Copies of this chain bind each other. A is one copy, B any other.
């Protein structure tokens, strides 16, 4: 790293010309992205139109000087311009020779809308235009001039672009033509004259002196750094630490000069498939604008091989050199001017998931990049694309999009609309694919949710019940879809003015949040040899283990295939809704707990029996790997029916079972209601007030472990106590757990023993504070970052999204959704505190992991990787590969930062 004073001694302008530049691609902070790459291309000997880059440091200086060019800068620009003129071979704005004309462009270190973009053809005035006409053609010269007049007024003088647009339209109409290129020389002269009249009418002035034009252009770029729109953009996107924008001043070249001219873009590999071949398109005798205007259709780049074979070879040589030099697939722009090829821009090319994988693995094969570099070349979203079914063509379905919500669980789903969980199950039985549409979902709906191909809700955020469950299953889900009005009685929903009746086909894009009318076409996802190889490199690079959050043997097997190294979170309560008999037993237990705890025995025994079977299956699926089981966490009222009739029937049944009257049962169940259930009677609080629940669950775990052992399986139960806030709570539950395990092993005979670990969730701020004492008593900490986020920020995940979090993100009050990406400053500080205190309390003998939703989010994983002692993240099965990649990239970044 250079010190500030070293930086201050750097040149204020960097000249680039074929074969020479002091600038380099890694100097983006000083030269901006565009400038740095122009310098690099020039330095590599590519034929870049010569030019100069005024540094971002000068932009900072410019603001400090109150919007004036810093003293001496203009002289430096003039000196650099001399070099550019020499390289170009002709003087700037000559009235005799073919004149050098200039473009002026902004370019910060990261791409950023809201700043001034481009002024072309700087240097023209009446005299220079006349001279240009002599050397080219009057029509060409006038066309350049009218473009300058328009852009200069718009961009440098801040005039309304529409003033000029109106004049141009009038001339087109008078000439009876549709496109500008169809205008004759005379028409263009009229345009220039009318533009000049607009200047006069609105008091606009373009300097006659070409150098003054340039000076004003550079100032305008610097000024545009602080336009309200640019400032707002940086604020909302939390872009900080930049000094300003650079200014790129470059010789104009023209693709519309002759039939030996043209313009094009190309990728060094196919951005859709990754195939190693030049890919792109070009247009003969045209400027970039013409391509955009859609008058003529460009040709595939391959055609150049026939029409301009030598130019094609030169282009291929250039792009190959750039790719080898910059070690990634390149996206290049070029212009052919009268048979001379100019390279205008290069940058790493955007690509699809399959292409990213192919490019990365191919490049390792070609010896261009190391395996570690290849790991850095594939993004999480690429992997996501590879792992989920996608819609074949987003462009094709665009007209059918009727609304959008949160992209809560990625992938594409198509099916027929149903409005209740029961209907979803019934339709599924009839062989129909369905999309379940609800205001929100609750644990009662899981059967129908499982039956559905996709889930759509009108309320709820990224961590609402629907979102969490859907992600767990890898099922596409769109949540919090504003404007979705549902009428359960009529079995209809309205969205974007379209009425969806039960049975209507609908498609959900869980990756974008779009809701699409009708049945859209899908591509299926699949593993591949390439992917397997790539994931081997990923695993070699990472230091964090990746576990999974899942609740059934089937999911465990799937996750293990996806690379999970164990289970970081079994939510035992997810099994409670597994069948009618199960939920009935759970409800009997709750009734007994509230009315007559002595009567809870039979229901506890029933639950213990089915939990034991489930755990045994999971131990077998995860043979040899840790299985972390969280004791009961949600408030008991979540297991009760919400609706009138079901609740009434339950009350009557419980009254019979408990030999009491319905009014009594009703009042006790009603007393379970809470004002803020998230901060209520849940987690270890349940197990402390009702130790028999903890005992029952631990007995089920211990018996399952013994049964698995007997079947030759290595069962590794990790028992995890939720929502701990104090050492007394922890000690209380540890006593109950140890006693229950001892009870089971004693009953099993003297040789029986269970090798289990005991841990606590760290999910209240208080737990982070008292972590030292907690760590002394346990084998592991598992951060529940969902709850920790809720409590640290005071954001209810069920409420924040709709009521203010979206607003916050739109208005720059919060740059990200803290339930999606962990809040490093707030939550992260507490996590770091807990880790440091915990390691101290356990003399370093403590395993630390994350089992919150953030465990599958790459940006969050990068932070977790930096927390002292962190050993694993855990996420839903379908996120496992993404978490593996995130962990690998985090480790590589950390190693690079250290080095």
Query: Residues of A at under 8 Å CB distance from B?
Result: 459, 485, 667, 671, 674-681, 683, 685, 688-689, 723, 725-726, 728-729, 732, 763-766, 769-770, 787, 790-796, 798-800, 802-804, 807-808, 811-814, 823, 825-827, 829-830
Residue of chain B at shortest CB distance from A728: B813
Q: What CA separation (Å) do A770 and B790 show in the bound complex?
A: 16
**Is B766 touching A792 in the complex (CB atoms < 8 A)?**
yes
Cβ–Cβ < 8 Å partners of A459 in chain B: 671
Known: A676-B678, A677-B675. A794 touches B830 (CB 8 A): no
Cβ–Cβ < 8 Å partners of A729 in chain B: 813
Q: What CA separation (Å) do A793 and B459 show in the bound complex?
A: 28
Cβ–Cβ < 8 Å partners of A794 in chain B: 678-679, 683, 723, 725, 763-766, 787, 791
Residue of chain B at shortest CB distance from A683: B794
**Told that A485-B667, A680-B803, A765-B826 touch, could you supply 8 new A-B pairs with CB distance under 8 A?**
A675-B677, A677-B796, A677-B799, A678-B679, A685-B803, A725-B793, A732-B813, A769-B830
User: Which listed residue, B765, B799, B808, touches A830 by the CB 8 Å rule?
Assistant: B765
Q: What CA separation (Å) do A778 and B678 show in the bound complex?
A: 32
Sample (6) of A-B pairs whose CB atoms are under 8 Å apart: A675-B799, A688-B807, A729-B813, A765-B826, A769-B826, A769-B829
Minimum CB–CB distance for A289 against chain B, Å: 40
Minimum CB–CB distance for A445 against chain B, Å: 16
Cβ–Cβ < 8 Å partners of A799 in chain B: 674-677, 679-681
**Is B826 touching A770 in the complex (CB atoms < 8 A)?**
yes
Q: What CA separation (Å) do A689 and B809 show in the bound complex?
A: 11
Cβ–Cβ < 8 Å partners of A671 in chain B: 459, 802
**Is B814 touching A680 in the complex (CB atoms < 8 A)?**
no
**Is A796 touching B676 in the complex (CB atoms < 8 A)?**
yes
**Is B728 touching A812 in the complex (CB atoms < 8 A)?**
yes
Classify the interface of chain A: helix, strand, loop or mixed.
Answer: helix
Known: A725-B793, A793-B764, A825-B770. A804 touches B678 (CB 8 A): no
Minimum CB–CB distance for A152 against chain B, Å: 36
Q: What CA separation (Å) do A796 and B723 show in the bound complex?
A: 13
Known: A688-B808, A807-B689, A813-B688. A679 touches B826 (CB 8 A): no
Cβ–Cβ < 8 Å partners of A791 in chain B: 679, 765, 791-792, 794
Minimum CB–CB distance for A732 against chain B, Å: 6
Minimum CB–CB distance for A171 against chain B, Å: 42
**Is A796 touching B732 in the complex (CB atoms < 8 A)?**
no
Q: What CA separation (Å) do A729 and B763 show in the bound complex?
A: 24
Q: What CA separation (Å) do A336 and B793 show in the bound complex?
A: 69
Residue of chain B at shortest CB distance from A667: B485
Minimum CB–CB distance for A266 against chain B, Å: 43
Residue of chain B at shortest CB distance from A729: B813
**Is B678 touching A728 in the complex (CB atoms < 8 A)?**
no
**Is A798 touching B725 in the complex (CB atoms < 8 A)?**
no
Q: What CA separation (Å) do A485 and B667 show in the bound complex?
A: 10
**Is A688 touching B826 in the complex (CB atoms < 8 A)?**
no
**Is B728 touching A814 in the complex (CB atoms < 8 A)?**
yes
Cβ–Cβ < 8 Å partners of A814 in chain B: 726, 728
Minimum CB–CB distance for A630 against chain B, Å: 16
Cβ–Cβ < 8 Å partners of A812 in chain B: 728
Q: What CA separation (Å) do A723 and B800 show in the bound complex?
A: 14
Q: What CA separation (Å) do A769 and B769 show in the bound complex?
A: 12
Cβ–Cβ < 8 Å partners of A827 in chain B: 766
Q: What CA separation (Å) do A546 and B168 show in the bound complex?
A: 74
**Is A790 touching B725 in the complex (CB atoms < 8 A)?**
no
**Is B764 touching A674 in the complex (CB atoms < 8 A)?**
no
Q: What CA separation (Å) do A800 and B798 show in the bound complex?
A: 20
Q: What CA separation (Å) do A795 and B804 show in the bound complex?
A: 23
**Is B790 touching A825 in the complex (CB atoms < 8 A)?**
no
Q: Which 10 A-B pairs have the closest CB atoms?
A: A679-B796, A681-B803, A676-B796, A766-B826, A675-B798, A680-B799, A765-B765, A764-B794, A674-B799, A676-B676
Cβ–Cβ < 8 Å partners of A676 in chain B: 676-679, 796, 798-799
User: Which listed residue, B667, B680, B728, touches A796 by the CB 8 Å rule?
Assistant: B680
Cβ–Cβ < 8 Å partners of A808 in chain B: 688
Cβ–Cβ < 8 Å partners of A732 in chain B: 811, 813
Minimum CB–CB distance for A514 against chain B, Å: 23
Most chain B beta-carbon neighbours within 10 Å: one of A688, A726, A732, A794: A794
Most chain B beta-carbon neighbours within 10 Å: one of A671, A683, A765, A798: A765
Cβ–Cβ < 8 Å partners of A764 in chain B: 792-794
Cβ–Cβ < 8 Å partners of A723 in chain B: 794
Q: What CA separation (Å) do A647 and B793 show in the bound complex?
A: 32
**Is B790 touching A765 in the complex (CB atoms < 8 A)?**
no
Q: What CA separation (Å) do A793 and B765 show in the bound complex?
A: 7
Cβ–Cβ < 8 Å partners of A770 in chain B: 825-826
Minimum CB–CB distance for A204 against chain B, Å: 34
Most chain B beta-carbon neighbours within 10 Å: one of A671, A680, A732, A830: A680
Q: What CA separation (Å) do A691 and B794 show in the bound complex?
A: 20
**Is B796 touching A674 in the complex (CB atoms < 8 A)?**
yes
Most chain B beta-carbon neighbours within 10 Å: one of A732, A795, A814: A795
Cβ–Cβ < 8 Å partners of A685 in chain B: 803-804
Q: What CA separation (Å) do A792 and B765 show in the bound complex?
A: 5
Cβ–Cβ < 8 Å partners of A680 in chain B: 796, 799-800, 803
Q: What CA separation (Å) do A678 and B729 show in the bound complex?
A: 24
Cβ–Cβ < 8 Å partners of A825 in chain B: 726, 769-770
Cβ–Cβ < 8 Å partners of A803 in chain B: 674, 680-681, 685, 689
Cβ–Cβ < 8 Å partners of A675 in chain B: 677-678, 796, 798-799
Most chain B beta-carbon neighbours within 10 Å: one of A803, A807, A829: A803
Minimum CB–CB distance for A550 against chain B, Å: 25
**Is A679 touching B679 in the complex (CB atoms < 8 A)?**
yes
Residue of chain B at shortest CB distance from A680: B799
Cβ–Cβ < 8 Å partners of A813 in chain B: 688, 726, 728-729, 732
Cβ–Cβ < 8 Å partners of A679 in chain B: 676, 678-679, 790-791, 794-796, 799-800
Q: What CA separation (Å) do A791 and B814 show in the bound complex?
A: 20
**Is A766 touching B793 in the complex (CB atoms < 8 A)?**
yes
Q: What CA separation (Å) do A800 and B799 show in the bound complex?
A: 21
Q: What CA separation (Å) do A807 and B685 show in the bound complex?
A: 10
Cβ–Cβ < 8 Å partners of A728 in chain B: 812-814
Cβ–Cβ < 8 Å partners of A726 in chain B: 813-814, 825-826
Cβ–Cβ < 8 Å partners of A811 in chain B: 688, 732
Minimum CB–CB distance for A571 against chain B, Å: 18
Minimum CB–CB distance for A488 against chain B, Å: 14
Minimum CB–CB distance for A871 against chain B, Å: 24
Most chain B beta-carbon neighbours within 10 Å: one of A679, A683, A770, A793: A679
Cβ–Cβ < 8 Å partners of A796 in chain B: 674-680
Residue of chain B at shortest CB distance from A238: B728
Q: What CA separation (Å) do A779 and B807 show in the bound complex?
A: 28
Known: A732-B813, A799-B674. A804 touches B769 (CB 8 A): no
Q: What CA separation (Å) do A827 and B726 show in the bound complex?
A: 12
